Structure 1
């Protein structure tokens, strides 16, 4: 009998229950913090045990609503963006764009060869420069139907924007939210060492592109190889017809082009706002709401159609909001039990090694473990770098290398089920987490080997 994969909600709640159970056995601990340049930094010599706060059944049952409250910004962002995209889709401009790209893909070998490398590189650059992370969520609603129209699958459609931005974020060379903050905390000149980090980013992006192109080619040749094959059969019925005489005549009208220009302008404004004006979730959500209003006017949607479309988009993403809340609840449980600092403290002695190369690689593995609980690049930097930076001095690893180990530890974000972004993206694409995780295992092993190898040159050349 075939083993049935559990529902995402069941899986996340099981993880939540296991963490709550662990709070009865892991002692409480705490590092003292002090304010430096507006940030709370950890004093690495201040760890002390504190009274534990085991989380019982009532705490477990309360944690999802507390997770909902703490993740309210990103949940609201997802719902508003979902509503805005439903309005955009109601105009049929996206359907016509998919038809156009599908025709070009069918008739042009150049387009077929370039579509995955170009888009993955663009998303990776977004992650590497302005820290593209939550901003990738809207693109799932475009790239999944586009991938299906091109003969690929939902996994490919999710991977192009999501893995592109995640690998760029993790292997960043100019990301202020992980590289900049970590270097500032470690006392290293901000954005120094960019040369080697650029090489790391380029290699990580190329590896991701090569893997996706290999996978996409296999799925296109034999769709049954896709882990989402059955799911995609239903989704393809919702797509516009991409072949036949009728489809050839369904070209974009001036109104469709105007809607798409508005959408492109919205994306451009989002990039400028994030990079130049430090926009975050509130501002981006407001931008997409404004886009929905203007698109509704340009697309000639009546008030009733606009509201119905927007509310349908919100309704479709309600399960995603709950998934994000439960994922955030894992952090709530661990924090309330005072076990996060204890886990961190217990991992520190494991870094010591006979050679700096092994010490740096252990730092990477430890950061990967910590990333299971803390997915914010800036949050993880603030927690770990005050400890890892002086520890690096003791084990003969340069602080630049310790920062790179911290960055590469975030490569696991695209797979872990406690990340709100990961489970939110998968819920949006309707991919069960276990289905995604099974597909990700080979690529995650490649990332693991790549990270371990990329940490060797900095140790050998004394990278400072």
Structure 2
């Protein structure tokens, strides 16, 4: 059998929840084999943008394996179930969901995803997006593809300049119907938005949540080697644009070749229904779009100037949605009534509940391993220590490349860029001195490994939320993205090894 139908035949793959469950089970088994270890910690200071920052980090030379009463390495095999709010194997979903605080994973990210979903549920209910889509398409008149590189550059700059990540979620909600209406697919929408932000994030010369923290922790000048990184950002952004345009052209020529063709039916149906109603872009729709645009400017200003993060950004998007809902009621957009604001908020949040649950489940993986506190005896600390020890005695270029691989793998457990930097860089920076690798290259290996794998690891709450907004399952996305991930890894490897050869300082 050949042709489009065979290409879109569903291949049986495990659901994301099952994959995470199996990973948790494997990590639980690991706790019975690997002894727990811990580090001592201390505070380091560094300067960023003229301001002194402090961060608690581990002392790499202080690692010790914890011993039991008999003097043997202690193995804390996790229990099947733990009462009293403790973490057992079967507790991983609930404990993962309620872990952390409003500033990060998991409960903060879960709340952020639900609020964002609700806010954009209201915005989409006004019909401003669908009407705007039709207006854009009519004005572009067959030149829709020109919009893709412009969007890619803007989102890549967002990732590079202010660490754009979570902010991409609502844009995916808007761009999926836009791209499908233009003859592309939801994968194209994710490429020009979330993928672009992570390419910018990974290759940034000034990202305050990644490269700046990693350089500060590594005790090298913050924002140094900017010229090398700007060149790297340009290369990867151009590569991403080229890959996107090539893929978009292929889908435009044969829409059924898209792996998301079936799931995109949701957007095609919505657009078709709207077109049949013959909606016009009215003053009310324009005010909704203006509200969203003004809100996005407010978000960017808050992140760059005031250091806003998850709590503030969530509220900013909630305000956007609320104002859009009021405009919708006043102008009777799509027949909106006051109760429709509440109904559409609830519906929008419902659409992202699946993604929010994944965030908690994924955090459960780390909790089963004991958490990310370097001063607490955990399996993760032991793995971290011995991974560093394995690099010793190897050529500098090989060691740097293995650092890149390690950071890529470690990102599965600690997706937060700042969190991963605080855990791994205090170990990798002094280790790089011993290996003959500059600390600048060690930071490079960290930021590339951290950023690129954000595009595929199912433990990334932002990725899962973007896929939820696109109505795609992670296994569906991973099946498509693995080739792109391989190319990013190949080019990333060349830049890391190139940094060693060039003597990057």
What TM bracket, shorter-length normalisation?
A: over 0.9
Number of residue pairs aligned between Structure 1 and Structure 2? 458
Q: TM-score with structure 2 length normalisation?
A: 0.87
Q: Does 1:449 find its partner at 2:490?
A: yes
The offset of 1:122, in angstroms, is 0.8
Q: Does 1:181 find its partner at 2:197?
A: no
Q: Does 1:47 find its partner at 2:63?
A: yes
Aligned counterparts of 1:157 and 1:251: Cα–Cα separation in 2: 24
Aligned counterparts of 1:462 and 1:36: Cα–Cα separation in 2: 26
Q: Say whether the 8 Å CA contact 2:155–2:197 is kept in structure 1.
A: yes
Aligned with 1:52: secondary structure? coil
Aligned counterpart, 1:95: 130
Aligned counterparts of 1:385 and 1:9: Cα–Cα separation in 2: 31
Q: Say whether the 8 Å CA contact 1:99–1:242 is kept in structure 2.
A: no
Aligned counterparts of 1:210 and 1:388: Cα–Cα separation in 2: 34
Over the aligned positions, Cα root-mean-square deviation in angstroms equals 1.8
Distance of aligned partners of 1:3 and 1:314 in 2 relative to their CA distance in 1, 3 Å threshold: closer
Q: TM-score with structure 1 length normalisation?
A: 0.94
Q: Say whether the 8 Å CA contact 2:264–2:471 is kept in structure 1.
A: no
Aligned with 2:56: secondary structure? strand
Could you tell me which of 398, 411, 418 is aligned with 2:459?
418
Aligned counterpart, 2:183: 151
Aligned counterpart, 1:360: 400
Q: Say whether the 8 Å CA contact 1:83–1:311 is kept in structure 2.
A: yes
The offset of 1:351, in angstroms, is 2.2
Q: Does 1:24 find its partner at 2:32?
A: yes
Aligned counterparts of 1:309 and 1:242: Cα–Cα separation in 2: 17
The offset of 1:353, in angstroms, is 5.1
Aligned counterpart, 1:192: 224
Aligned with 1:237: secondary structure? helix
Q: Does 1:263 find its partner at 2:271?
A: no
Aligned with 1:239: secondary structure? helix
The offset of 1:407, in angstroms, is 0.6
Aligned counterparts of 1:72 and 1:243: Cα–Cα separation in 2: 39
Q: Over residues 84-105 of structure 1, what are the superposed CA-to-partner deviations in whole Å (9 max), with x where a residue is unaligned?
A: 1111111111111111222234
Could you tell me which of 46, 63, 66 is aligned with 2:92?
63
Q: Say whether the 8 Å CA contact 1:328–1:419 is kept in structure 2.
A: no
Q: Say whether the 8 Å CA contact 2:38–2:381 is kept in structure 1.
A: yes
Q: Say whether the 8 Å CA contact 1:153–1:229 is kept in structure 2.
A: yes
Of Structure 1 and Structure 2, the greater helix share is in 1
Q: Does 1:233 find its partner at 2:265?
A: yes
Q: Say whether the 8 Å CA contact 1:85–1:292 is kept in structure 2.
A: yes
Distance of aligned partners of 1:99 and 1:22 in 2 relative to their CA distance in 1, 3 Å threshold: same
Aligned counterparts of 1:84 and 1:167: Cα–Cα separation in 2: 27
The offset of 1:272, in angstroms, is 0.4
Which segment drifts farther, 123-132 or 429-438?
429-438
The offset of 1:191, in angstroms, is 0.4
Aligned counterparts of 1:302 and 1:243: Cα–Cα separation in 2: 22
The offset of 1:241, in angstroms, is 5.9
The offset of 1:234, in angstroms, is 3.8
Could you tell me which of 153, 163, 176 is aligned with 1:131?
163
Could you tell me which of 294, 317, 329 is aligned with 2:323?
294
Q: Does 1:141 find its partner at 2:150?
A: no
The offset of 1:321, in angstroms, is 1.7
Aligned counterparts of 2:60 and 2:400: Cα–Cα separation in 1: 18
Q: Say whether the 8 Å CA contact 1:144–1:429 is kept in structure 2.
A: yes
Aligned counterparts of 1:298 and 1:235: Cα–Cα separation in 2: 24
Could you tell me which of 384, 395, 411 is aligned with 1:344?
384
The offset of 1:47, in angstroms, is 1.0
Aligned counterparts of 2:64 and 2:269: Cα–Cα separation in 1: 59
Aligned counterparts of 1:242 and 1:18: Cα–Cα separation in 2: 48
Aligned counterpart, 2:356: 321
The offset of 1:172, in angstroms, is 0.9
The offset of 1:210, in angstroms, is 1.2
The offset of 1:189, in angstroms, is 0.8
Which segment drifts farther, 308-317 or 407-416?
308-317
The offset of 1:159, in angstroms, is 2.1
Aligned counterpart, 2:410: 370
Aligned with 2:280: secondary structure? coil
Aligned counterparts of 2:387 and 2:212: Cα–Cα separation in 1: 24
Aligned counterpart, 1:8: 16
Q: Say whether the 8 Å CA contact 2:201–2:207 is kept in structure 1.
A: yes
Q: Does 1:394 find its partner at 2:434?
A: yes
Aligned counterparts of 1:134 and 1:28: Cα–Cα separation in 2: 33
The offset of 1:316, in angstroms, is 2.2
The offset of 1:276, in angstroms, is 0.4
Could you tell me which runs of 5 or more consecutive residues in structure 1 were left unpaired when the two chains were aligned: none
Q: Say whether the 8 Å CA contact 2:352–2:465 is kept in structure 1.
A: no
Q: Say whether the 8 Å CA contact 2:163–2:207 is kept in structure 1.
A: yes
Could you tell me which of 249, 252, 255 is aligned with 1:220?
252
Aligned counterparts of 1:387 and 1:88: Cα–Cα separation in 2: 46
